[in-house]
Amino acid sequence: MTPQQLIRKIRALPERAPHTETLEKLLLKKPAWYASQKEHWLGWLSEYGTSGAYGRIGFHHDARFAYNHCGCPPMTLWLGEASGVDECLVARAAKLAKQNPGSFSAKSAVIRKVIPWCEIERTL
């Protein structure tokens, strides 16, 4: 799946996701440029393959690579939750991310261990 194909699938997903919103309240202390994790994903992916805000010059990676390199825990969790991954897996991923004392990247990695790309792709 390309980032553009993922964008089209994300557009059809709901904005609200309860586990994600709880994680956001815990981790994100200041207002962001996006109003939802859906908007965050759409903005991030819209610049994929360009330098954008993240300096990704010359990269032409697939959607799996993008998911596996997302460093925002609520953003990572939202894609699983909104796409319909089993609620027990989503709850477990959220719990482990909250308990992880590490960086945002470490918290995102914990989420991806519970909700790997193959689960995202399957539910999308």
- pLDDT tens for 40-65 read 999 989 877 655 555 555 566 899 99
How would you class 31 by CB atoms within 10 Å of its CB: exposed for 0-12, middle for 13-18, buried for 19 or more?
exposed
Q: What percent of the chain has pLDDT over 70?
A: 90
CA 93, CA 28: separation in Å to the nearest integer? 17
The domain of 63 spans 3-123
Structure token pair of residue 66: 């993008």
To which H or E segment does residue 105 belong? helix 104-114
| pTM beyond cutoff 0.75 | yes
Segment among 4-8, 31-35, 82-86 with least mean pLDDT = 31-35
Domains identified in the chain, total number: 1
The conformational region for residue 28 under phi > 0 = left, psi -120 to 50 = alpha, else beta, is beta
User: Torsion over CA of 19, 92, 9 and 5, rounded to 10 degrees?
Assistant: 130
pLDDT at 50: 58
pLDDT at 83: 98
pLDDT at 15: 96
Number of Cβ atoms within 10 Å of the Cβ of 100: 16
